Amino acid sequence: MSDPERPRIGEKRSDSSQPLILPGIHRYQFFSNLKDRGWTLNLDRVALFGIVSALLATVIKPILRGNPATIYCYECRACYATQDRCPVGISLQAELVVAGRVLDYDRFIRNGGLKCIRCGNCQSYCVQYLPLPKMFEVMQHETRRAIVAGIVPKESLTRVLEQGLVGKEFIDDVVRAIA
Amino acid sequence: MEFLGYITLGIFLGLMLLTLFGYIRTPVQTVLVLSTVLCLIIGGFFRYIAYGWDSVVLLPNEFLGGIILHPITALLTGLFLAGGLKASGGFEALKALLGYLRRSPIGLVGTLVILINLPVISSLPCGRILAAALLPLLFTFGFEGGLGILSKSQLIVLIGAFTRNSMGSCGPSPIGGVGQIAEGFLGSFFPTASDGILRAPQAFALMLGTAIVALFLKFVSQKIYPNDVSLREAPPGFETKRGSEVKIKPPIQGFIALAIFVISLLIAIFQPLGKMPVQSVLVAGALLMIVVCRIRLNDLLEGIILLPVTAMAAGFLAAGALAATGGFKALASILNSLVSIKALGVAGMLAIFVQFQTILPLSCARILTAALVPTLYLFGPAQFNFLSWSQLAIVMAAYIINATTSCGPSPLGGGGMMGEGTMRAETGFIKGAYTFASMAIMAPMAAIFMKFLNLSVFQPSDPEFVRNIYMIGAFALVIAGVNVVFIFLGSKLFNPKSSRNFFIQLIGFLLSGGFGGGILAFALFETEITKILQGILGGIIAAFLIGVMVPKVLSKRLTATLSGPTT
């Protein structure tokens, strides 16, 4: 039995049955025109739930972990202009910010997060003057906690230790975790 | 583990191609989530084998890092403002102001040209802010929107060109634009690079590219897809009514809301109150509208539509899963290995590299730019020494404008879909115009601009400043002239047969791509014939990959989608 709600081939679709794209403007789009494709509706709902959950996690996580400023980062990477003004030679500061937002320990230590001395030189390059040293400090504490709890894989820790990416205040914890 | 990157990259590309060509019949955001899940499952399995369970547990955190909140919040802010302007009569006030401008010496055309270039003039860190706020206004220029100033064909050009300009304006933005990623790297050699070494080449190329997009939409897209824009033409007799001018009497709140919008925009751009997120300033402006213009919070919220937001977020998730499983590393390694092909060499590889984000347009340029700019940087003196610092700056200029504009033609929740929605077109309508302009005009023009002018500005000892300006003028004329000729010639050859039209368009892409690749090679290596030939070959390969992705037909896809699988 055919569904009377579903459009038939060649049938002119009315504006109001199309999804909205902007206020008052309806969308004609074969990808996201959900009304044309009832058999995938549930799959689409699951996917949408996944997307919204991921977005919420990205926003809520840094707030709960005391690093809310990371949410504001444009990820424009203007901070890369710090170059040799970074005394410990960190070149990809934005990576540390993103790592801090989502608690990506591996990304943080791989990009020299445990080497940072929080001098603040990079902060002057941030187009929003975000408190980068504070953000890195919070993530350093989180990472230390994760290292002590044995969450960070030993392979990652061994690699960064060999590459000299661990600052002296964290060396003991890293060595202990590897051992 | 390197193998894992190639697998996940293959899954992502395979699923995207199958969706774009209509073999997978689900909304794109669902396919992107499917790609994310598959990549994570396979990545998790590989990690479990290689590093154990601890590494698998951290995988979700890593893929969430792919979500870039900035364009998402920018889009929401734009929609928020659009809701506020609509409810308070701000659009009516803007129409009245545009009416005054139309009667001024600059006339209608001059007014529209300013309007189209407004995004690059304001250069906000995400083009979606202005596009979401102003596209509803542009729609009103047509018959259905009430003003009836423009015909259907003109409205398509206006909306398409404005959206093109918007979805590239985040490149030259000094307050968090995409170009700053590359400027940060160039700071290793050019001490003042972060002051905006790439800004002028991008803005110049974007303005020129916007004009070419307008021509392409008029003479190519509308002929290839004649029935795929559902905007209505004015009925016969409407012309005479139009002549008597539609009288608009906006409420005073409309003017106040407009003033608040403009002032908050200026504060966001020039930051006189100190550095702060653009979104915060604009949202504060929208809240002020509630107080001053007596509109409801609901009016603002009504402006927000989640569909474009979720599509973009799905793109980020898929990109995040790729990054977490080494997919981007595999991509960079593939591009790097092209150097070893003798026919391509460095010049050919770079001609493909600079076009890569147009070949694979994702929902936000930042996704791939953040992954590929460090690779490009390593081609310079920092590691591989393929290029000198000056040459690296030239390639960066070409790459960044191409990358920045790549969210425009992306069908994966890209900004261009907002334009397509506004002009009521099928997805893919603007893709040919946008990719052509990025490939054939913007990338080579940005390279030439950087070579002949910007390097002079950033190296003030250069005595040939005036001559270099003439050179840029000459190259702009040649590059634009050649492509305009291609567009006109192509438009004369089109007929109702879609396969023939697609073939003609593809030939045009190949010729323009080869020309663009040659120009890029010239900008880098000057008159070295071998390098120029390699650049031409690289440009042709890139153009082929871009050209075949432009849809052959749109309406048949819709019919196929509606009818379901055929047996």
Sequence ranges of the domains in chain A:
15-62, 67-178
Q: In whole angstroms, give the CA distance from residue B133 to residue B138.
A: 10
pLDDT bin (cut points 50, 70, 90) of residue B244 is: very low
pLDDT bin (cut points 50, 70, 90) of residue A109 is: very high
Q: What is the dihedral of CA B108, B114, B116, B117, to 10 degrees?
A: 160
* Percentage with pLDDT > 70 across chain B: 93
- pLDDT score at B259: 92
Q: In whole angstroms, give the CA distance from residue B24 to residue B408.
A: 23
Cα dihedral sign for B305, B155, B425, B74? negative
B344 vs A34 pLDDT, higher one:
B344
Which of A56, A80, A97 to mutate to test binding with chain B, by most B CBs within 10 Å of its CB?
A80
A41 touches chain B (CB under 8 A): no
Q: In whole angstroms, give the CA distance from residue B493 to residue B490.
A: 5
A78 closest CA partner among B499, B275, B539, B78 = B275
Q: What is the mean pLDDT of residues A153-160?
A: 90
Q: In whole angstroms, give the CA distance from residue B333 to residue B2.
A: 10
- The number of C-alpha atoms within 13 Å of B213 and in the hemisphere containing its C-beta is 35
- pLDDT score at B483: 94
B542 within some domain: no
Whole-angstrom Cα Rg for chain A: 24
B178 → chain A, closest CA residue: A76
Specify the number of domains making up chain B.
Answer: 1
- pLDDT score at A3: 52
Instruction: Say which range, A7-11, B141-145, B244-248, has the weakest mean pLDDT.
Output: A7-11
ipTM: 0.78
CA separation (Å) from A48 to A51, B28, B270, B307, B421? 5, 11, 37, 10, 20
pLDDT bin (cut points 50, 70, 90) of residue B414 is: confident
- pLDDT score at B567: 37
Angle, CA of B318, B545 and B548, to the nearest 5°: 100
Note the residue count of chain B. Answer: 567
- pLDDT score at B50: 87
pLDDT bin (cut points 50, 70, 90) of residue B29 is: confident
C-beta neighbour count of B191 within 10 angstroms: 11
B193 → chain A, closest CA residue: A81
Q: In whole angstroms, give the CA distance from residue B387 to residue A101.
A: 35
CB interface of A with B, residues 67-86, below 8 Å: 71-84
Which residues in chain B are closer than 8 Å to A153, comparing Cβ atoms?
A: 51-52, 54-55, 58
pLDDT at B556 over 80: no
- DSSP assignment of A51-108 equals HHHHHHHHHHHHHHTT-GGGGG-----GGGGGGGGSTT----HHHHHHHHHHT-HHHH
For A28, the token pair is 């004609």
- pLDDT score at A157: 92
Instruction: Say which range, A24-33, B174-183, B408-417, has the weakest mean pLDDT.
Output: A24-33
B302 touches chain A (CB under 8 A): yes
Q: Give A24-69 pLDDT, tens digit per residue.
A: 565 544 444 445 455 566 777 788 889 889 999 999 999 999 999 9
For helices B199-216 and B152-166, give the axis angle rounded to 10 degrees. 160
Q: In whole angstroms, give the CA distance from residue B525 to residue B529.
A: 9
B274 by Cβ neighbours in 10 Å (0-12 / 13-18 / 19+) ranks as exposed
Q: Give B52-104 pLDDT, tens digit per residue.
A: 888 888 888 888 988 888 888 888 888 888 888 888 888 888 888 888 888 88
A168: left (phi over 0), alpha (psi -120 to 50) or beta: alpha
Question: Is B409 strand, coil or helix?
Answer: coil
The mean predicted confidence, pLDDT, of chain B is 86
B1 vs B501 pLDDT, higher one:
B501
Q: Residue A26: what are its φ and ψ, rounded to 5°? A: -95, 155
- pLDDT score at B238: 65
B378 closest CA partner among B392, B366, B364, B390 = B392
B107 within some domain: yes
Q: In whole angstroms, give the CA distance from residue B111 to residue B100.
A: 10
Q: In whole angstroms, give the CA distance from residue B227 to residue A105.
A: 52
Question: Is B187 strand, coil or helix?
Answer: coil
* Cβ within 8 Å, pair A22-B132: yes
Q: Residue B189: what are its φ and ψ, rounded to 5°? A: -115, -40
Q: What is the dihedral of CA A120, A125, A128, A129, to 10 degrees?
A: 20
pLDDT at B432 over 60: yes
- Are the beta carbons of B338 and B348 closer than 8 angstroms? yes
pLDDT bin (cut points 50, 70, 90) of residue A15 is: low
- Are the beta carbons of B476 and B442 closer than 8 angstroms? no
What's the whole-model pTM score?
A: 0.83
- Are the beta carbons of A157 and A177 closer than 8 angstroms? yes
B226 by Cβ neighbours in 10 Å (0-12 / 13-18 / 19+) ranks as exposed
pLDDT bin (cut points 50, 70, 90) of residue A2 is: very low
Question: Is B425 strand, coil or helix?
Answer: strand
pLDDT at A22 over 80: no
B462 within some domain: no
Q: Max Cα separation, chain B? A: 76
- Please enumerate in sequence order all residues whose Cβ is within 8 A of that of A45, keeping only pairs 6 or more positions apart, or say none: none
Instruction: Say which range, A37-41, B181-185, B550-554, has the weakest mean pLDDT.
Output: A37-41
- Are the beta carbons of B127 and B169 closer than 8 angstroms? yes
E strands along B84-203, which residues?
Answer: none
Q: Max Cα separation, chain A? A: 73
Which of B23, B26, B553 to mutate to test binding with chain A, by most A CBs within 10 Å of its CB?
B26
Which residues in chain A are closer than 8 Å to B558, comparing Cβ atoms?
A: 30
Q: Can you give the residue range of the structural domain that contains B262?
A: 69-198+233-307
pLDDT bin (cut points 50, 70, 90) of residue B463 is: low
- Alpha carbon B226 to its chain's center: 24
- Are the beta carbons of B395 and B354 closer than 8 angstroms? yes
Which of B1, B67, B135 to mutate to test binding with chain A, by most A CBs within 10 Å of its CB?
B67
Of B193, B277, B313, the CB nearest to A55: B313
pLDDT at B446 over 80: yes
CB interface of B with A, residues 209-248, below 8 Å: 230
For helices B69-88 and B90-103, give the axis angle rounded to 10 degrees. 80
Which residues in chain B are closer than 8 Å to A103, comparing Cβ atoms?
A: 61
Instruction: Say which range, B110-119, B515-524, B526-535, B546-555, has the weakest mean pLDDT.
Output: B546-555
B27 vs B147 pLDDT, higher one:
B147
- pLDDT score at A47: 85
Of B54, B313, B427, the CB nearest to A153: B54
A112 vs B147 pLDDT, higher one:
A112
- pLDDT score at B562: 41
Which residues in chain A are closer than 8 Å to B25, comparing Cβ atoms?
A: 37, 40
B125 closest CA partner among B157, B78, B92, B160 = B78
pLDDT at A13 over 70: no
pLDDT at B417 over 60: yes
Which of A18, A37, A76, A103 to mutate to test binding with chain B, by most B CBs within 10 Å of its CB?
A76
pLDDT at A4 over 80: no
Q: What is the mean pLDDT of residues B213-236?
A: 88
Instruction: Say which range, A159-163, B78-82, B166-170, B479-483, has the weakest mean pLDDT.
Output: B78-82
Q: In whole angstroms, give the CA distance from residue B197 to residue B492.
A: 41
Q: In whole angstroms, give the CA distance from residue B139 to residue B162.
A: 11
A159 touches chain B (CB under 8 A): no
B126 within some domain: yes
Residue B65 identity: G
- Please enumerate in sequence order all residues whose Cβ is within 8 A of that of B143, keeping only pairs 6 or more positions apart, or say none: B152, B232, B233, B234, B235, B238
